[in-house]
Structure 1
Amino acid sequence: MLTALLFDLDGTLTDTDTLHLQAFRKLLYDHDGRELTQEQFNVQISGRSNALLFADLFPGTDAAHRQALAEHKEALFRELSPALEPMPGLLRLLEHAKRHGIGKCVVTNAPRLNAEHMLSAMGISEWFSHVLVSDELARAKPDPLPYLTGLQRLEAQAGEALAFEDSLPGVKAAVDAGIFTVGLATTQSPERLLEVGAQLVIEDYNDPRLWALIERMQAA
């Protein structure tokens, strides 16, 4: 049966990577004149927690300085995203889950301020009973802890859940938590998502294969 849906946020509920790339490019250029390519962003930044990626981007700085840089970058992102569009088919899926009593949870490596801003900018804050932020847990993705915590909050078993992810660390986290993981091909190629364990890769939530899967799980 299907009792829980767990969603990443950036690139999964809404396509925000271009905005994050713009914010990182401005931060790095203003800080030390550094350039950032799309490929570098995909490999070094996308899907990772700020604690890890800022340590890699600014290895010569102390923790307080890195935190200030991270907060500045996230403020730049929020300025660039006063309104956001949900991924195609997402509202249809959320409405289906509500009708059938399926629990819904956001599991994100984004900071709390960003998560709340993005859900509000999409107009979907009220759809989620829980918003889990990895920075508030002992370990972030790619560790499975955020998804295991999401299952606990929804009082669901891994075999009764679906996870939706667009990043490689996120897919690994959900797969290692034992959840059937659906990859969104917004920031990574389908091949890379499948390589790290995604069991289905879709372009958006209108994909007939996703709805066939949901129907099978609800009928089980």
Structure 2
Amino acid sequence: MQDKFSLLFDLDGTLANTDEHHFGAFQVLLGERGRSISIETYQSRIMGATNDVIMREFFPDVPEHLHPALADRKEALFRASVTHMEPAAGALKIFEWARSRGVGIAVVTNAPRANAELMLNGLGLADRIDTLVIGDELPRGKPDPLPYLTGLERLGASAERALAFEDSLSGIRAASAAGIYTFGMRTALPTQTLLDAGANDVIDDFTAASLWRMLDDVAQGAVSMRV
């Protein structure tokens, strides 16, 4: 029996553009200690990383047992800044496409569960997904492939019959290492950077013609994505 087709989505920067909120929260947190970062540093070293990695890199002078409190502060700042959520262009359409065809949907994120649930509820997508995979709740988060392998396992799916959507370097590396055909989302990073990280294709959003050509092929003939 052939595995059902599945879609696996990152959350921040993929289903919604939240980078300005995260960047702002980090700037406040760092500013409290007389520091700051550039948007380029955020994009290359923070975006998509787990909080434990971020805190070790940017607060090496703070004892590690205090890092969770710093991370909690940053996430609280983020949640306080989110007053309205807009899904990425085409996101609702692809979710409808999936639901009408019985295609499994997973959201795979390094965001804390409180953030993920806030965002999914704000986007109106919480009841449209089959599973939510939180990287921090696993032994290893992205860029390790474990979160995506976990998503596939929970969906009863295989990498050969799945698509992943990611905007960060760590996320693309995780999805591609799991063997999934991966669309890089051109939310913040340039095309070549996304391709170099392992993306199979790069799109601006979920209205992209190349994506829908592939979905049409899926609907018509059960294609397999081999990477």
Common topology (TM > 0.5): yes
1:139 corresponds in structure 2 to 140
Do 1:81 and 1:121's aligned partners in 2 also have CA atoms closer than 8 Å?
no
Do 1:174 and 1:181's aligned partners in 2 also have CA atoms closer than 8 Å?
yes
Question: What does residue range 142-157 of structure 1 map to in structure 2 within 5 Å?
Answer: 142-157=143-158
Question: What does residue range 1-220 of structure 1 map to in structure 2 within 5 Å?
Answer: 3-30=5-32, 32-218=33-219, 219=221, 220=223
Q: Work out the CA distance in 1 between the residues paired with 2:31 and 2:181.
A: 40
CA RMSD of aligned residues (A): 1.1
Q: Work out the CA distance in 1 between the residues paired with 2:216 and 2:156.
A: 21
Do 2:4 and 2:157's aligned partners in 1 also have CA atoms closer than 8 Å?
no
Q: Work out the CA distance in 2 between the residues paired with 1:80 and 1:64.
A: 26
Q: List, as ranges, runs of 4+ consecutive aligned residues in structure 1 with deviation greater than 6 Å.
A: none
Look up the SS of the partner of 1:140 in the other structure: coil
Query: By how many angstroms is 1:96 displaced?
Result: 0.4
Q: What is the TM-score with the length of structure 2 in the denominator?
A: 0.94
Q: Work out the CA distance in 1 between the residues paired with 2:7 and 2:97.
A: 11
* Structure 2: unaligned runs, 5 residues or longer: none
After superposition, give the CA deviation of every residue in 1:167-199 in whole Å (9 maximum; x if it has no partner).
011001000000000110002111100111111
Q: Work out the CA distance in 1 between the residues paired with 2:197 and 2:10.
A: 16
Q: Work out the CA distance in 2 between the residues paired with 1:96 and 1:62.
A: 48
Do 2:16 and 2:87's aligned partners in 1 also have CA atoms closer than 8 Å?
yes
Q: What is the TM-score with the length of structure 1 in the denominator?
A: 0.97
Q: Work out the CA distance in 2 between the residues paired with 1:113 and 1:62.
A: 25
The one-letter code sitting in structure 2 at the alignment partner of 1:150 is: G
* Structure 1: unaligned runs, 5 residues or longer: none
Look up the SS of the partner of 1:69 in the other structure: helix
Look up the SS of the partner of 1:162 in the other structure: strand
Query: By how many angstroms is 1:55 displaced?
Result: 0.7
Look up the SS of the partner of 2:67 in the other structure: helix
The one-letter code sitting in structure 1 at the alignment partner of 2:19 is: D
Query: By how many angstroms is 1:2 displaced?
Result: 6.1
Identity across matched positions, percent: 45
Q: Work out the CA distance in 2 between the residues paired with 1:157 and 1:44.
A: 30
Q: Work out the CA distance in 1 between the residues paired with 2:80 and 2:184.
A: 28
Query: By how many angstroms is 1:63 displaced?
Result: 2.5
Look up the SS of the partner of 2:12 in the other structure: coil
Do 2:4 and 2:156's aligned partners in 1 also have CA atoms closer than 8 Å?
no
Q: Work out the CA distance in 2 between the residues paired with 1:205 and 1:163.
A: 12
Do 2:184 and 2:203's aligned partners in 1 also have CA atoms closer than 8 Å?
yes
The one-letter code sitting in structure 1 at the alignment partner of 2:116 is: A
Matched positions, count = 219
Do 1:107 and 1:132's aligned partners in 2 also have CA atoms closer than 8 Å?
yes
Query: By how many angstroms is 1:92 displaced?
Result: 0.2
Q: Work out the CA distance in 2 between the residues paired with 1:172 and 1:206.
A: 23
